[in-house]
Structure 1
């Protein structure tokens, strides 16, 4: 099978069922479909959507540079005073230290050789601007004036939901779309902006309070409810931010996010409009509840409306969804778990530990309405109370090895998988012995 035919067939296998349902009426017998995918309108459509969605996921700001650049002036802090901005600027070394990543494939060979030879100054903000100019900074898009100066900056989905494999250098490598950016300190990046007044006015607090909240999140965390309810901190004083989730492994999964706000397409629209601050349309009257969501109700965030001619989000949602459904769950690296123990752990998972009663294979969440009360899972209701249903979603488990940094559960409260197992042992009185617990952890690491 040629490369083009193979690509089309893989696209069919990966997403046709997700997009169209499994009604068996795709034109001809399975044998004829397998033998003649070229020219099949279903495969053509699926392939087109995935390819368009990848570009959107990686590079589309949805017009949010009007917020991050034009309003917050973040580009000026990146450029630095010597390059027409303000302050010291953001050097490549500092950017990598904040968890931003560089796409090695976007770096020309000559530049790559110079970097490896130590001939490129990674302590100069001008180098950061050069990387932005060639679309090499994952999830960040620079917009340049005719004179070459950075005039604005925007963000894309990839900033939080992609990383790299570090194959070129730490923080520089091949893109890994869908992986959670667990070392990205998005709060500190936003806090660099010279003008945080738009956020302060939305929250009705002062700028220093905004900066304090942003810097409280820490690496790999973000608070998507802050601009809805203004509840920046938990009752125990900890940050209200949650760990960034994976964007892969969501095929067949109903509700998305830790507290089940809606489906993947819902959340794409929610984030693009209310968090990235793109230019589009969004409707959710649940946000009119001024008691639960005072900030959102005041700002009418559930009623964002733009004329179709100005909408830079809605037309892109189908392709973006298709790409996310096509993302492959990565395989745990060799040596990262004990295969024999994992095989025994699967028996524990599906048997005495009762994990599979909620984390139903192969989805590893429930088919249907995959939500539970805080009492059912033995934790507090703080994060659940910030959502419409007041419950927690059963998180899909595949690719857990990509989420080892930052802890488990929505807020990273459990540092290790052993801690998670110990929690359920206490809550459900499972009666597992030490060997069963160890095997169960190895199975989780193998998913």
Structure 2
């Protein structure tokens, strides 16, 4: 038990503050802190972008002054502190802006950026961020990562997670924008893409360096002992492998320029992948990025590119990854919303009799079924065309035109481990807070998700036609937590 407690404490530190050196990427390559300073972003503006502030990391004098200002004007509009750009820098360098980790005068990012909220005990911006005590593991549905990225002084350094237009793909582009970015696109072009919520919606993050514009909706990181496989595409069977993938590729995309990174991207995307990394190196050179890659990880020669433990041949500190596992498993899900017990009981019966249990558990204290559900099952309208062949076990790169739902699975999917291209099941927890549904935000509410008006060929076409029964089912889904039923 003492060892387990120690692992959880270390894992909390990893979750909240660990960068493994990615502060070099965000400060010297993307230049996010420089962009924030140049744009004179105020704390109020940062909160409007969905960022969260840990009140326990704010010095007592500042906290007292803010409390005084908010008593005079609860909106914060007249607050001197909330409208002073210098206070933003002060909060970031104090480690108070959740997920922004100051290290040796630079600023990196941690898991908490997208997966922590506060209790809003000090201040809350409607549809935005808040100031209060940390609530780790909760998905931040209001974070405007695209706009935050666009604030950086060198957004072009995020090339691999933008929607691209590559010669090897004959100019074809996948994503929400009508055109993709190129190696010669300007900083203004990149800023326009990332800051446009039609292309990069609020609450979403593009977590695959595939050249597709395929951001997915942010997910919670509590109760991870109940969740598997990991990623909406179900590529990883272990959470520490998934975390390592995040730290060694997504939090420092310059790692993709290493021989192992190049080999992995080539395996995934062939000539288009080679072109993407060559273009990325050119962009890094053109924007005078030096000293990369930045993440401190152990190089491992064993195994071919694509091994789940070391997809690009690198792994960060294993003890810290396992400690992070322990912390994510220790985080409890919020209590479900239980306002109408009669409706919840009726909704439970609707859930049982409407086919939902063919994929989902009734008892949310049980691990989520690990089955990958084929695209044809979860999305009957999926009629993909082949874009490029690949060597088995990888499936061919395919895509259904006029749909965003399968863009995420076009290049990176569970075929990497010999599984089918499809969807992993989510945790059915904390649904009362969730504003949109399905990984591509294609269902605007729970009522919309379960409403047959979306059509038989839509993603997740499993409906409750009767309005009253549907309302009961929604009450039940919002009530779910991991307490034993």
**TM-score w.r.t. structure 2 length?**
0.70
For the 8 Å contact 1:280–1:313, the answer to whether it is kept is no
Structure 1 residues 221 and 211, CA gap change in structure 2 (3 angstroms): same
1:392 corresponds to: 423
1:130 corresponding residue in structure 2: 90
Supply the distance in 2 between the matched residues of 1:421 and 1:401 (Cα, whole angstroms).
15
Alpha carbons of structure 1 residues 318 and 418: separation in structure 2 relative to 1, 3 Å: same
SS in 1 for 2:433: helix
Cα distance in 2 between the residues matched to 1:200 and 1:279: 10
Q: Which residue of 2 aligns with 1:330?
A: 334
Tell me which of 248, 271, 280 is aligned to 2:246.
Answer: 271
| Secondary structure, counterpart of 1:142 in structure 2 | strand
Query: 1:327-385, CA deviations, whole angstroms, 9 ceiling, x for partnerless residues?
Result: 101013564xx22101111111112x111111123348875532112221235433332
- Alignment equivalent of 2:341, drawn from 311, 331, 339: 339
Deviations 1:219-239 (A, max 9, x none): 2111112x2x2122xxxxxxx
Give the gaps of 5 or more residues in structure 2.
Answer: 70-78, 125-129, 165-181, 281-292, 301-313, 383-405, 415-420, 481-485
Q: Matches of 1:305 and 1:61 in 2, distance apart?
A: 9
Give how far 1:426 is off.
5.3
Deviations 1:97-118 (A, max 9, x none): 1111111122233321101112
Residue of structure 1 equivalent to 2:228: 254
What is the CA–CA distance in structure 2 between the aligned matches of 1:286 and 1:246, rounded to whole Å? 28
**Which residue of 2 is the match for residue 158 of structure 1?**
112
Q: Which residue of 2 aligns with 1:231?
A: 212
Say what the alpha-carbon RMSD is for the aligned residues.
Answer: 3.3
Counterpart in the other structure of 1:220? 203
Shift of 1:275: 1.1
From 136, 143, 147, the equivalent of 1:188 is: 147
Match 2:157 to one of 190, 194, 198: 198
Residues 425 and 66 from structure 1, CA distance in 2 versus in 1: closer, same or farther, beyond 3 angstroms? closer
Change in CA separation of 1:411 and 1:344 when aligned onto 2, cut-off 3 Å: same
Alpha-carbon spacing, 1:366–1:115, altered in 2? closer, same or farther (3 Å):
closer
Contact 2:226 2:366 in 1 (8 A): no
Counterparts of 1:189 and 1:341, CA distance in 2? 41
1:195 positional shift: 1.9
Shift of the 155–423 alpha-carbon distance from structure 1 to 2, 3 Å rule, reads farther
Decide whether aligned partners of structure 1 residues 255 and 231 sit closer, same or farther in structure 2, where only a CA change above 3 A counts. same
Residues 360 and 368, structure 2, Cα contact 8 Å, conserved in 1: no
Pairing partner for 2:352 from 350, 353, 376? 350
Aligned match of 1:409 in 414, 431, 438?
A: 438
| SS of residue paired to 2:107 | strand
Distance 1:299 1:361, change over 3 A: farther
Q: Which runs of 5 or more residues in structure 1 are unaligned?
A: 1-42, 81-86, 145-150, 233-239
TM-score relative to the length of structure 1: 0.75
